[in-house]
Structure 1
């Protein structure tokens, strides 16, 4: 009978299955005994084939000793599965531990950074505000060339601030690093950064005051120099402020800004005794900007002028047909020309008589108006800044009637002398330069005789 090809195929599959089970059996034995299979041994040494391709069996039909049974094979698979589970569990345990360790380390890092930042922010906030510090006071000296870095470090060295870098950053952020003022300042630990910077950038008055007396007839440049000498403000800043007409007070609203006036506020620096704050820093720094302090001083003076000129004076101006500026201008000339109230009144009467007959006497002809230009305007100008129109507007030998503005700051007596001038027939006056005695005349011939008495013969020819 011929062999069936299907039977042969089936036999080959059984043979392969048997071989595989044998290998598995060896593995199981090795697993139990600890033996290692020799990889170089031929597979044929593990089993023998019987004729016809069948495996050898015992004579009683039982499987050979090395043949793998189904039960052993299943045990092997179960053991292998269990071992794989343990390996996977072990690997899983390792991965879990690694993840946990990484998470813990990362958490510690984040917490550490957060704690550092939180501490830094809190310290910065406390240093910035000055809260929670032990009170300590110190003096810091700032030179002209002191930098923000140096000032911050000095404050730290003095124990006023704890974080100089934060202080420098603050000054840079708010653009305050280039405004520190030369001088010695008292600071303390409770001051915030803002208060510290404000203190170090403000001219200290140290609450010390000085009493200054402005006398009748003084000019703005004379008063300005007195202010600087007493460390109230720089003379230049005071004069510059006087070139501007404000509108804070009622008297200022009666004035007009005149282009040809050198000082808009000449005549309105009311003579009196004033108390002003001293600026110690002005002694060391002559270039210090004191415009604000000059303005403050002038505000006190203007308020005084505003209070002194009451309604009755303004009513009298209206009766005479005079403006405030015309009144103060005439008073300023009378103040400089005369040495007492009686003479100031007579001088004013000369001006009123001349203005009443403008055709015959177009000019007031007062020497002090010429002196004002030469002594109090020209010295503050360069030759290229000379303005002849301005000079002529003050010169009562050239301008018609009342000049452009006051030539000094008259007192209340001079103002009243103008407002209540006596009625006279005088058209001329002169004064003895040595005795200051004044002479008044109705005619030109009388006037020339008076000039000879005063030793002013040269004035006759003029």
Structure 2
């Protein structure tokens, strides 16, 4: 009996030793594996940031809205982690879950889980940017020249896009057929863009800016005036080109509105539309227009064709758009600008001719 008890004790002791050895091996392996999975890659750390040798660098982009599970699958697809489930588990265990940042990150296939986690929760790589100036008063044709000559766009691709009717913005829904449906809507301003932006991205940025400045109440006001958005932008583009000073925008607008609503003076008779007609005919701008230019057979010749031309003649700024929508209340039907940009207004043709003669501008 005593022997049996001692035998059982020895068996239990051997079993206990075996369990202790197994547990020691298990936890040692687990610790080594965990350290390998999470700590390898910290060797690249310098002053708190992981530095990847150039020859090992891999670019990975985390899209906006990606959660830990999405990122784990992306890393697996790119061959950066073998087990997506383990990346998710360790993210929760180590407090990285929900802290990953969208954008471009530089990683390496030599980095393991902890190294990847540190990088992907750090600020993304800054994108190289440039300032892109879209000058006011440019036609699409002139903008194509301007941007392609400076290397911002491929001429053919950019022009093709400008000739495309786009319906993804409310203001473009009812643009009539013309050479450049985007004429008038590539908003003039200075933009910060990334160096590798495609032509589509540049155009979309300019259109988004127009969408921002053309407020919801502008649509309502256009309807009150019995005008389409395109007609408003067309009128604003004429105001933009005719006025040198903002103080004249709404007065010039009043003259144009008065003519549009007049049976006596149904022709706008503005020189800036002749300049556009010349550009579209491949003749370019000239300093001084002549009577011969007034004979150009173009729907943009507002000396020959009544009402508004078929589309904008440049991309107007918000001040010109507001002036087109909210003109001053005047009885003016005539105006002209002196060489210094001062605008002279008149209610009658007689007064207009008298003032032209006084300034030595009567033909």
Q: Normalising to structure 1: TM-score of the pair?
A: 0.47
Alpha-carbon distance between aligned partners in 2 of 1:455 and 1:210, rounded to the nearest angstrom:
47
Alpha-carbon distance between aligned partners in 2 of 1:437 and 1:368, rounded to the nearest angstrom:
16
Alignment pair present for 1:321 and 2:241 = no
Q: 1:360 aligns with which of 240, 244, 264?
A: 264
**Counterpart for residue 139 of structure 2:** 219
Relative to 1, partners in 2 of residues 1:249 and 1:325: Cα closer, same or farther, differing over 3 Å?
same
CA contact (8 A) 1:346 1:424 kept: yes
**Counterpart for residue 269 of structure 1:** 186
Displacement of 1:376 in angstroms is 4.8
**Counterpart for residue 289 of structure 1:** none
Q: RMSD across aligned C-alpha pairs, in angstroms?
A: 2.9
CA contact (8 A) 2:245 2:341 kept: no
Q: Where in structure 1 are there 5+ consecutive unaligned residues?
A: 1-134, 139-187, 191-205, 280-291, 381-389
CA contact (8 A) 1:430 1:450 kept: no
**Counterpart for residue 158 of structure 2:** 238
Which of structures 1 and 2 has the larger relative contact order (alpha carbons within 8 angstroms, sep 6+)?
A: 2
**Counterpart for residue 372 of structure 1:** 276
Displacement of 1:449 in angstroms is 1.5
Displacement of 1:237 in angstroms is 2.8
Displacement of 1:409 in angstroms is 0.6
Alignment pair present for 1:293 and 2:207 = no
Cα-to-partner distance string for 1:136-189 (whole Å, 9 max, x where unaligned): 839xxxxxxxxxxxxxxxxxxxxxxxxxxxxxxxxxxxxxxxxxxxxxxxxx99
Alpha-carbon distance between aligned partners in 2 of 1:454 and 1:405, rounded to the nearest angstrom:
32
Alpha-carbon distance between aligned partners in 1 of 2:224 and 2:132, rounded to the nearest angstrom:
36
Alpha-carbon distance between aligned partners in 2 of 1:354 and 1:442, rounded to the nearest angstrom:
11
Displacement of 1:295 in angstroms is 1.6
Displacement of 1:415 in angstroms is 0.5
Alpha-carbon distance between aligned partners in 2 of 1:452 and 1:344, rounded to the nearest angstrom:
24
User: Which has more radius of gyration?
Assistant: 1
Q: 1:411 aligns with which of 317, 320, 330?
A: 317
Alignment pair present for 1:348 and 2:260 = no
Relative to 1, partners in 2 of residues 1:377 and 1:308: Cα closer, same or farther, differing over 3 Å?
farther
**Counterpart for residue 257 of structure 1:** 176
Q: 2:358 aligns with which of 453, 458, 462?
A: 453
Relative to 1, partners in 2 of residues 1:419 and 1:402: Cα closer, same or farther, differing over 3 Å?
same
Displacement of 1:207 in angstroms is 4.5
Alpha-carbon distance between aligned partners in 2 of 1:136 and 1:312, rounded to the nearest angstrom:
53
Alpha-carbon distance between aligned partners in 1 of 2:261 and 2:108, rounded to the nearest angstrom:
72
**Counterpart for residue 441 of structure 1:** 346
Q: Normalising to structure 2: TM-score of the pair?
A: 0.60
Alpha-carbon distance between aligned partners in 2 of 1:397 and 1:340, rounded to the nearest angstrom:
24
CA contact (8 A) 1:232 1:276 kept: no
Which of the two has greater helix per residue?
1
CA contact (8 A) 1:137 1:189 kept: no
Displacement of 1:454 in angstroms is 3.4
**Counterpart for residue 217 of structure 2:** 312
Alpha-carbon distance between aligned partners in 2 of 1:409 and 1:364, rounded to the nearest angstrom:
19
Q: Where in structure 2 are there 5+ consecutive unaligned residues?
A: 1-52, 57-106, 110-125, 285-295
Cα-to-partner distance string for 1:243-288 (whole Å, 9 max, x where unaligned): 11201112222x2332xx2211111011222122335xxxxxxxxx
1:100-119 matches, within 5 Å, as: none
CA contact (8 A) 2:335 2:343 kept: yes
Q: 2:236 aligns with which of 331, 336, 340?
A: 331
